[in-house]
Chains A and B, each alone.
Chain A
């Protein structure tokens, strides 16, 4: 095994053009997907936890179900929508990074919403009671709630980031793993492994873990101030 790890490290630092293209497409896609999902999902989660509106409970159940949407199913649905014969063919999203991002946002937004909802619903009762007792307005209460959830926001984002980077089912279907265009780390690992080229697969896997580690360390530092 040492030989394989050695070769992997050599390749990582060799500056191979294709490898770095794969990495840059991955980062572009992952960052966009995770941020978009957070922007869409976090307010939803706050809404689910903090407000009461008709149909709220149903929406929460639907959200929880969507959290378990298998990536490959999402990929298949998007593939059929964006296909040359599909209803959204005019958008020309198949085999593009944008298409992959859309598929990932569909997958991750419910997760972001669910994560925020879980965190907030634990504290929303107490916050409300104290805010009521102090006669604070609904708007001010909401702002306070958002302030309370800023650390939850970070961990929710990280979760979304990790999911986006490690996802392969949806992006391989929608993106087609086209070289120098829609090939990301996970699809590349799958492709090289299927070929029998385990060295490159391993190199990419290590790199993926390394990036994950760096992001998590950074986020941990950010959360340092929490008691």
Chain B
């Protein structure tokens, strides 16, 4: 379980994130939705520990920092082979290699295993970053727009891989998305953000099909579900 309390983060004078209380329960899959600049990335970074909030703290129970994996919005593809990229957090050895290849298989990149990581397209890089995470077991995964650069086919493969992984390991997923349809497909819970504040959260069906707050309604009005 991950608990956020009294979190405030400012960039200059702008209050980018203001979350008095938010709870992430184990095993659930949380979709963070909202327009650009609503604080989704900031929230994920604070959860991941790459950003420190100005006020408030993050409490972990039942898991440690080391068991949380994070995929940033712009994952970095190192100038190594794709499979070596995936093995980065696994160490060396034959077992690690096997796990890496299996992960690549799941995201549909197995044919590029020997290719140079730095030469991949945006969508391929994101899938490779995903493979990096699912090659290892985690208790929670934080993903910032994990399929933003992918086409429909690739996006589909990535989502399938994520769902399988979550089912197999029972890990908590917290991902941001700017497509409510993805939230419906992947998530069990939804958290709607606007201007750094949570305007609504709850079961994904409730939030997306029967939004209660104005800001959620406005955001969803642009999509046909």
Contacts and interface: CB of A to CB of B under 8 A. Distances in A.
Interface of A: 123, 126-136, 140, 144, 147-148, 150, 227
B78 A144 contact: yes
A70 B176 CA distance: 53
B50 A132 contact: yes
Given A227-B118, A227-B119, A133 B72 contact: yes
Given A126-B76, A227-B119, A134 B50 contact: no
Interface string B59-101: 0000000100111101110111000000011000000000000
Nearest to B129: A130
A132 B69 contact: no
Contacts of A126: 72, 74, 76
Given A132-B50, A134-B89, A136-B88, A127 B70 contact: no
B202 interface: no
Top 6 closest pairs, chain A to chain B, by CB: A133-B70, A130-B76, A134-B89, A129-B72, A126-B76, A132-B50
A133 B138 CA distance: 12
Contacts of A147: 78-80
18 contacts: A126-B74, A127-B78, A129-B50, A129-B72, A129-B74, A130-B76, A133-B50, A133-B75, A133-B142, A134-B88, A134-B89, A134-B132, A135-B66, A136-B89, A140-B88, A147-B80, A148-B78, A148-B79
Nearest to B73: A129
Contacts of B133: 133-134
Given A227-B118, A227-B119, A133 B78 contact: no
A128 B118 CA distance: 16
B119 A132 contact: no
B48 interface: yes
B48 A133 contact: yes
A129 B116 CA distance: 20
- Chain B interface secondary structure, helix, strand, loop or mixed? mixed
A140 to B, nearest CB: 8
Contacts of B129: 130
Which of A132, A133, A227 has the most B CB atoms < 10 Å from its CB?
A133
Interface of B: 48-50, 66, 69-72, 74-76, 78-80, 88-89, 116, 118-119, 129, 132-133, 142
A148 B89 CA distance: 17
Given A132-B48, A133-B142, 10 more contacts: A126-B74, A127-B78, A128-B50, A129-B74, A133-B69, A133-B70, A133-B71, A134-B70, A135-B66, A227-B118
A144 to B, nearest CB: 6
A131 B119 CA distance: 19
Contact of A123 (B69, B70, B76): B76
A63 B66 CA distance: 38
Contacts of B88: 134, 136, 140, 144
A132 B76 contact: no
Contacts of B48: 132-133
Nearest to B72: A129
Contacts of B78: 127, 144, 147-148
Contacts of B79: 147-148, 150
B126 to A, nearest CB: 12
B76 A127 contact: yes
B43 to A, nearest CB: 15
A158 B133 CA distance: 39
B176 to A, nearest CB: 14
Contacts of A128: 50
Contacts of B75: 130, 133
Contacts of A144: 78, 88
A102 to B, nearest CB: 35
Contacts of B66: 135
B118 to A, nearest CB: 6
A132 B69 CA distance: 9
A144 B116 CA distance: 15
A63 B217 CA distance: 54
Nearest to A149: B79
